């Protein structure tokens, strides 16, 4: 190919190119780079590969993590934004990126391209990726990238597995792919008159509270309230993406009124039955109505108790959706420990799927699941929940490291897992203390 070189790109030039690319991703956006700088102690570099006419051939967001003795490493989230089927282009991008990395004393460069390795639709039928993934895989290895393995859980920087819904389908087709139990639970949430609304910055505190409850329950740790607040501000403070909060709520008075109205209707139906001369079908009808009456009576009593304990208005689910270009990701989802029988979480998911569809979003990504589907996997329940919404089950190609300093890379690979485990334990303890403080 003709002479190409790597250059720094201004925000508007970088974003104007990136948003038009099929493989654009919020993790490559200028906004994510700025968040990484402010809250992750990383230095972002917005780079473009250009030809002699200054045409952009590809871009890369490189996040620099500084290490002792002036060493560093670079992480390029979701890989370079290039045509991976163009072998010469991949070679040129690699050559320029590695030259840049060496100039910064980097010991390696990590990429995890948004390239589909395997794809199964909601019927679990395998679908062929739109490119020769084996050829790309072999090309990267030939160029010197070390594949980090076909991991099955959340060992990598970003999830290797996810569920994606193609929003080019009609909303009817999308919802028809929901599992039977999902449809039933959404119906129940609606019958209980729960509701979903879009939140604002003032709701970050409530969102964070639900995240801490979820993290303690699921045994993982995430971020501080300030992190979520900063993310929300950055993505909503520019044109480089958008963060939207969806809040699934219950209004006890409204739910109790709905249940009482239902009870009244059942009592009215019972009152018109000829009790003294019931046919077989009428007896069956009476038995069914009596069961409904008992159920509504119990539900009313239960929600009246909930109101005494928790007040009238309660947020049960809080989800943060990131929109970028023509795609959206369910980045974070927090849920309360109580009132799970209302299934507000399911209803909240349905509402932001509809929202994305109505906005013209093309791809809806649930951002993370597992590949190890053994039932004793602690993340198995998460997988089964996300599966119920009928998206394609996607496996990405995985992480690749291009090593530029073998000795330091060896030391890094040995020491970092120990360090991260220490940090994780400290973070988990902090989250547990936060939950105790707020309960």
Buried b (16+ CB within 10 A) or exposed e, 279-299: eeeeeeeeeebeebbeebeeb
- Provide the pLDDT confidence category of residue 221 given band limits of 50, 70 and 90: low
Q: What average pLDDT does range 112-119 have in this prediction?
A: 97
* CA–CA distance, 156 with 148 (Å, rounded to integer): 9
CA 435 to chain centre: 23
Tell if the pTM clears 0.75, that is, is over it.
yes
Least confident of 39-53, 72-86, 201-215, 268-282: 268-282
pLDDT at site 413: 85
Q: What sign does the dihedral 263-266-267-268 (CA atoms) show? A: positive
Residue range 65-70: average pLDDT? 93
Q: How many C-alpha atoms does 291 have within 13 Å on its Cβ side?
A: 6
- For residue 272, the 8-state DSSP code is T
Helices (H) then strands (E): counts for the chain = 13, 16
pLDDT digits (tens, 9 = 90+) for 222-281: 789 999 999 999 999 988 899 999 999 999 999 999 999 999 999 999 888 877 777 778
Residue 380: pLDDT over 50: yes
Per the listing, tokens 């996810």 go with 162
Q: Please report the pLDDT score of residue 421 as a whole number.
A: 61
Q: What are the pLDDT digits (tens) for 14-56? A: 999 999 999 899 999 999 999 999 999 999 999 999 999 999 9
């Amino acid at each position: 190919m003709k002479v190409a070189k790597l250059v720094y790109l201004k925000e508007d030039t970088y974003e104007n190119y990136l948003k038009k690319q099929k493989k654009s991703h919020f993790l490559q956006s200028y906004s994510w780079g700025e968040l990484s700088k402010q809250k992750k102690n990383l230095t972002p570099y917005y780079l473009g590969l250009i030809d002699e006419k200054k045409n952009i051939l590809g871009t890369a967001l490189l996040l620099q993590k500084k290490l002792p003795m002036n060493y560093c490493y670079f992480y390029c989230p979701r890989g370079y934004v290039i045509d991976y089927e163009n072998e010469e282009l991949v070679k040129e991008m690699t050559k320029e990126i590695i030259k840049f990395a060496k100039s910064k004393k980097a010991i390696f460069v990590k990429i995890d391209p948004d390239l589909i390795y395997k794809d199964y639709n909601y019927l679990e039928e395998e679908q062929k990726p739109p490119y020769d993934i084996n050829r790309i895989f072999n090309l990267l290895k030939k160029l010197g990238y070390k594949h980090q393995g076909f991991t099955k859980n959340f060992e990598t920087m970003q999830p290797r597995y996810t569920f994606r819904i193609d929003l080019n389908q009609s909303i009817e087709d999308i919802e028809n792919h929901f599992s039977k139990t999902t449809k039933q639970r959404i119906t129940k949430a609606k019958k209980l008159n729960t509701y979903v609304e879009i939140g604002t910055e003032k709701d970050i505190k409530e969102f964070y509270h639900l995240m801490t409850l979820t993290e303690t329950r699921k045994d993982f740790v995430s971020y501080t309230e300030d992190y979520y607040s900063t993310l929300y501000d950055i993505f909503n403070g520019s044109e480089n993406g958008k963060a939207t909060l969806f809040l699934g709520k219950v209004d006890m008075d409204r739910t109790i009124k709905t249940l009482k109205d239902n009870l009244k209707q059942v009592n009215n139906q019972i009152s018109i039955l000829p009790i003294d001369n019931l046919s077989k079908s009428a007896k069956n009808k009476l038995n069914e109505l009596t069961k409904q009456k008992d159920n509504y009576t119990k539900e009313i009593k239960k929600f009246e108790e909930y109101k005494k304990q928790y007040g009238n208005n309660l947020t049960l689910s809080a989800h943060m959706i990131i929109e970028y270009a023509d795609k959206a990701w369910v980045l974070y989802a927090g849920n309360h420990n109580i009132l799970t029988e209302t299934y507000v979480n399911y209803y909240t998911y349905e509402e932001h799927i509809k929202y994305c569809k109505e906005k013209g979003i093309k791809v809806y990504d649930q951002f993370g699941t597992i590949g190890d589907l053994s039932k004793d996997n602690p993340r198995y329940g998460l997988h089964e929940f996300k599966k119920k919404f009928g998206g394609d089950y996607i496996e990405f190609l995985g992480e690749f490291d291009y090593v530029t300093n073998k000795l330091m890379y060896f030391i890094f690979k040995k020491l970092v897992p120990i360090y991260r485990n220490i940090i994780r334990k400290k973070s988990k303890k902090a989250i547990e203390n936060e939950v105790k403080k707020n309960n």
